[in-house]
Amino acid sequence: MDQPQPLATIAERVGITVRTLRKHAERDGFPAPAVRCGKCDSGLLYDLGAVQRWEETGDGSATADGTTRTVQPLSVLADDLDITATTLWKHSKHADFPSPVARCGMCANSYVYDAEAVRRYEEGAPVDPSDRLVSLQEAADELELSYGSMRTYLGRHADFPKPVKYTGPRPLFSLQQIRSWQDKRQRMRSTVAEAAAGDTLEVEGLLTRAGVAAELGVKLDTVTRYQRRDTDFSKDFPESVRKIGRSRLWDPQQVRAWRNSRPSAQRQA
């Protein structure tokens, strides 16, 4: 289901005037509001898809059960739950907190939440204060990194944590997931640095330069020459699959396949 929206927004999407759509809303069979803001009691929000179907076909089914949910902003929910608005706002940053249902156009576009879902959350499992939802900038501040670094991680690393939810167009991430990812990255960098200075052959299943040399039965300097791929013999030498700092790691299967296609590899050492 599309995020519930006020009639004014839907009118623009459907291509009719707000006045016309409001008149249609008074007719029998028009989709019932999907949610009603419990703060202003006049912020009615409708399902875009249901209204579009009604305008096109006369089918006004809005939700599976045809009911209208009452939704409220956090400030009102906090009063109902007898906790401070600040506390509830902090809880809303946790990864498993219910997502906002919509924005209420009558309440200064404040986000509104399903009251029952929030109540179940507050009465449920204890909250882990170390795991909350953050923007990339907030994650960068927490980890003492630059925003540019976080953007680079997101764009270049397929295993970087994905957004948990969106607040409007802004993606929010689990701070705990990003912290764990960064810790793993730091451990990997330390391991690779130690491997580069010693005789370690593998790091998390990937071959170091020493590991490639051992697989091919050649010297380290020969692997460096192969990396340049500037001869007929080495032109299709496997690219490294990961780079950490100045160190590179190779897929062992690719290296072995390349070795097996060149039985004279050792003679090129």
Q: Which residue has the tokens 């005037």?
A: 17
Listed by start position, the domains of the chain span 1-129, 133-186, 198-268
Task: Read off φ and ψ for residue 161, nearest 5 degrees.
Answer: -55, 140
Structure confidence at residue 254 (pLDDT)? 92
Structure confidence at residue 224 (pLDDT)? 86
Structure confidence at residue 260 (pLDDT)? 86
- ∠ CA(131), CA(137), CA(140), 5° rounding? 70
Q: Where in the chain does DSSP place strands (E)?
A: 35-37, 44-45, 69-72, 102-104, 110-114, 133-134, 165-167, 170-174, 202-203, 206-207, 242-244, 247-249
Say if residues 154 and 174 touch (Cβ distance below 8 Å).
no
CATH node for 198-268: 1.10.1660
Q: What is the pLDDT along the chain (269 residues), one digit of tens a residue?
A: 456 777 778 888 888 888 888 888 878 778 777 766 655 545 677 777 777 777 777 654 444 445 555 667 788 888 888 788 888 888 887 777 888 877 665 555 567 788 888 888 877 644 555 667 888 998 999 888 899 989 988 888 888 998 887 766 778 888 888 989 988 888 777 766 666 555 667 777 888 888 888 888 888 888 888 888 888 888 889 988 887 767 788 899 999 999 888 765 444 54
Structure confidence at residue 130 (pLDDT)? 61
- Beta-carbon contacts of 189 under 8 Å, excluding residues fewer than 6 positions away, are 244, 245
93, with CB counted inside 10 A (0-12, 13-18, 19+), is middle
- Beta-carbon contacts of 146 under 8 Å, excluding residues fewer than 6 positions away, are 140
User: Can you read off the two tokens belonging to residue 216?
Assistant: 């091919």
- Beta-carbon contacts of 164 under 8 Å, excluding residues fewer than 6 positions away, are 95, 133, 172, 173, 174, 177
Question: How long, in residues, is the chain?
Answer: 269
Rg of the chain over Cα atoms, rounded to whole angstroms, equals 28
